[in-house]
C-alpha cells in the first residue's frame, strides 16, 4: 500500500540507494513511498544521526520526485524531537516523521535497557514526547510511539496505568493536526508487534476515530521497504479504518483501503 518511513544512504546507518528503494517499491506495487532520513535535532541524544548535507539531500529527493512516475515519491525527513529543542522549520519537504529517540539524562537508548520500574521509564518518555510535541506544528506523523519497547528488557507493553498519558498524546496530535505512524520494523523481530502496539492502535482508533494514520517500515535496507504494509492495512481495515494517509507539500491525502 504505502511506506512513508524509509532510510537511504543519506542516513549514517543505511546504505540503501534511492533508485533501488524505488525499484523495490514498484515491484511491490506500493502506491506511495517517502524517504525520511534521520535528522536528530538534539545532538546530546546518544547516536544522534543527522543528514550531513541538507541541500544535497533535498536536491536528491527533488530529483527522484521529478523522475519517478510509477509510485508516488515523497520528500520526508525523520526529525528527532526533544523537549530541549524549539522545533524545526524547513518548508522544502512534503512532511515530517516526528520521533523521540532519547530521554534527558539517559546515556544510551540503543542497547538493552534494564530498569526496575519500566512504568516510570515509559512515563518519562511520554512526558518528554508531550513536551517535545508542544514545540512543533508542521504536518507529519508521530513515529514509533512506544519506541522504548524495543530496548526495555523483556519488551513490555505500555502499562494500562499510563493510558491517560497516551490519551494526552493523542489529544495533542489532534490539536496540532499531526498524524500517527504504524511502524512495522519490529513485526518480525525483537518486539514482534507494531510500534505503537496493537493495543495502542485500538486506543488511538477509539479516542480519535482513527484519523491520519500512515504506515512506515523504518527500512534501513532495501529488502525491508514496504514490509508488512499489506498486513497492517488489513489489520486497520478490520478496526474499521477506511483511509490511510500520506502528506504531500504539507497537505494530507487519504487512500481508500
Ligand atoms: Zn526513529
Ligand atoms: Zn527511522
For residue 149, the CA-to-ligand 1 centroid distance in Å is 13
pLDDT tens string 174-218:
999 999 999 999 999 999 999 999 999 999 999 999 999 999 999
Span 35-50, average pLDDT: 85
Determine the pLDDT at residue 182: 98
Confidence at residue 108, expressed as pLDDT on a 0 to 100 scale: 62
Ligand 1 centroid from CA 49, angstroms: 10
> Are 7 and 16 a contacting pair, CB within 8 Å?
yes
- Alpha-carbon distances, residue 58 vs 53, 92, 194, 226 (angstroms): 9, 8, 29, 22
What spacing in Å lies between the alpha carbon of 30 and ligand 2's midpoint?
A: 19
Query: Helix (H) and strand (E) counts for the chain?
Result: 6, 9
- 5 CA distance to ligand 2 centroid (A)? 6
pLDDT of residue 42: 86
- Measured CA to CA, the distance from residue 257 to residue 236 in angstroms comes to 9
141-148 average pLDDT score: 97
> How far apart are the CA of 144 and the centre of ligand 2, in A?
8
Q: What is the mean pLDDT of residues 62-73?
A: 97
Domains and CATH numbers, the chain: 2-256 (3.20.20.140)
Residue 107: predicted pLDDT: 60
Give the alpha-carbon dihedral of 239, 212, 34, 122, to 10 degrees. Answer: -80
Cα–ligand 1 centroid distance for 82 (angstroms): 13
List, for residues 104-131, the tens digit of each pLDDT value. Answer: 776 667 778 888 899 999 999 999 999 9
- The pLDDT confidence band at residue 47, using thresholds 50, 70 and 90, is low
Query: Is 76 within 8 Å of 231 (Cβ atoms)?
Result: no
Which CA distances in Å does 118 have to 154, 156, 232?
Answer: 10, 8, 27
- What distance in angstroms lies between residue 179's CA and the mean position of ligand 1's atoms? 15
User: What pLDDT is recorded for position 159?
Assistant: 98
Ligand nearest to the CA of 4: 2
Amino acid at each position: 500500500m504505502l511506506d512513508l518511513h524509509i532510510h537511504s544512504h543519506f542516513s549514517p546507518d543505511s546504505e540503501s540507494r534511492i533508485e533501488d528503494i524505488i525499484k523495490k517499491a514498484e515491484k511491490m506495487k506500493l502506491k506511495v513511498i517517502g524517504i525520511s532520513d534521520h535528522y536528530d535535532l538534539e545532538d546530546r541524544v546518544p547516536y544522534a544521526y543527522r543528514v550531513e548535507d541538507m541541500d544535497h539531500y533535498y536536491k536528491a529527493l527533488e530529483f527522484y520526485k521529478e523522475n519517478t512516475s510509477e509510485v508516488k515519491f515523497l520528500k520526508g525527513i525523520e526529525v528527532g524531537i526533544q523537549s530541549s529543542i524549539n522545533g524545526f522549520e524547513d518548508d522544502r519537504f512534503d512532511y515530517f516523521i516526528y520521533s523521540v529517540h532519547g530521554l534527558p539524562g539517559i546515556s544510551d537508548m540503543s542497547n538493552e535497557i534494564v530498569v526496575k520500574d519500566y512504568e516510570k521509564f515509559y512515563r518519562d518518555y511520554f512526558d518528554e514526547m508531550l513536551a517535545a510535541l508542544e514545540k512543533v506544528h508542521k504536518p507529519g506523523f508521530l513515529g514509533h510511539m512506544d519506541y522504548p519497547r524495543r530496548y526495555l528488557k523483556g519488551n513490555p507493553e505500555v502499562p494500562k496505568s499510563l493510558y491517560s498519558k497516551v490519551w494526552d498524546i493523542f489529544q495533542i496530535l489532534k490539536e496540532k493536526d499531526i498524524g500517527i505512524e504504524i511502524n512495522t520494523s519490529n513485526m518480525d523481530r525483537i518486539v514482534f508487534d507494531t510500534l505503537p502496539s496493537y493495543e495502542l492502535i485500538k486506543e488511538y482508533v477509539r479516542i480519535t476515530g482513527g484519523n491520519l494514520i500512515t504506515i512506515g517500515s523504518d527500512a534501513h535496507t532495501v529488502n525491508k521497504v514496504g514490509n508488512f504494509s499489506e498486513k497492517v492495512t488489513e489489520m486497520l481495515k478490520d478496526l474499521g479504518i477506511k483511509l490511510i494517509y500520506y502528506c504531500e507539500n504539507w497537505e494530507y491525502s487519504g487512500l481508500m483501503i
